Amino acid sequence: MIVGDRKPLEEILNSIKDYKKIMLMGCGGCVTVCFSGGAKAVGLLASQIKMARKKQGRDIEIIECTPERQCEYEFIDALKKDIESVEAVLSIACGVGVQTMNERHPRTITIPGLNTKFMGYPVEHGFWEERCAGCGDCVLEWTGGICPIARCAKKLLNGPCGGSSDGKCEVDKDTDCVWQLIYDRLKSLNKLDNLTVVREAKDWRTSTNAGQRKIKFEEAML
């Protein structure tokens, strides 16, 4: 899932300082699951904003809503009337939701209230870790299902750097060295041979380097 983190209140207040009537839009997808952008988060942020603006003596009107997914026309189009009745939309969906709104409803500006962080999952309740960087050419097959692109600070493909120590990464003592994890997993699977092969330089064209990426699924096209 996509994991996000709400922007600091100060920054949000500053970005909507010129408006008297806004819509605060969450999303029922990933950000609901990671507590940062669901209906509950919308309610909480709305009252924080109202309170802050009241203190400034500049009341603000907020329409709250949380479509099932902010990144699909079908769900945001249902809110068209309300969207067009406000000066701006403050979105606490991921960056995809914010852009879907701006493209689909160009007459209304949609402002991000959330920092989109990474693709990951909750390793424990309330604690998420990154797992995939969307490199576009997955190597998990030979790494024992553990990603060195997203989880190694140097994106190494031929084993750990010289800073791997006691299972931890040189960059952060609280982060596992992913190459230690890969080594241990492959050892337990009896597949250490996977690591003796010299892995060639990666073709990064499948990643973000070649500009915007697209996927076509002909069967689904109308």
Partner 1 sequence: MKQRSRLEKVLSAGKFAVTAELGPPQNADPDVIKKKSQYCLGNVDGANITDNQTAIVRMSSIAAGAIAISCGLEPVVQMVCRDRNRIAMQSDILGAAALGVKNLLCLSGDHQKFGNHPQSNNVFDIDSVQLIAMVKKMRDEKQFLSGDPIKEHEPRLFIGAVENPFADPFEFRVIRLAKKIEAGADFIQTQCVFDVDKFARWMELVVKAGLHEKVYILAGLTPVRSERALKYMKAEVAGMSIPDELISRMEAAGDKEEKKEEGIKICLEMIEKVKNMEGVAGIHLMPIGWESITPVILERAGLLPRPEV
The binding site for partner 1 (CB under 8 A) comprises 153-168, 170-171, 177, 179-180, 183-184, 192, 195-196, 198-202, 204
Of 16 and 177, which CB lies nearer to ligand SF4 in the complex structure? 177
Among the listed residues 27, 28, 36, 26, the one whose alpha carbon sits nearest the alpha carbon of residue 5: 36
- In angstroms, what CA-CA distances link 156 with 116, 125, 126, 151? 24, 30, 29, 10
Residues 165-204 that bind ligand SF4 (CB under 6 A): 169-171, 177-179
Q: How far is the CB of 195 from ligand SF4 (least distance, A)?
A: 13
- Which of the ranges 54-62, 97-105, 109-117, 155-163 carries the binding residues for ligand SF4, by CB under 6 A? 155-163
| DSSP conformation class of 165 | B
Among the listed residues 39, 40, 131, 25, the one whose alpha carbon sits nearest the alpha carbon of residue 80: 25
| DSSP conformation class of 147 | -
Bridge partners for 129 per DSSP: 121
Residues 132-151 that bind ligand SF4 (CB under 6 A): 132-135, 138-140, 147, 149-150
**Residue 33 engages ligand SF4 in binding (rule: CB under 6 A):** no
DSSP output for 9-39: HHHHHHHTTT-SEEEEE--SSHHHHTTSSSH
Of 58 and 187, which CB lies nearer to partner 1 in the complex structure? 187
Of 48 and 158, which CB lies nearer to partner 1 in the complex structure? 158
User: What residues line the site for ligand SF4 (CB under 6 A)?
Assistant: 132-135, 138-140, 147, 149-150, 152-154, 156, 160-161, 163-164, 169-171, 177-179
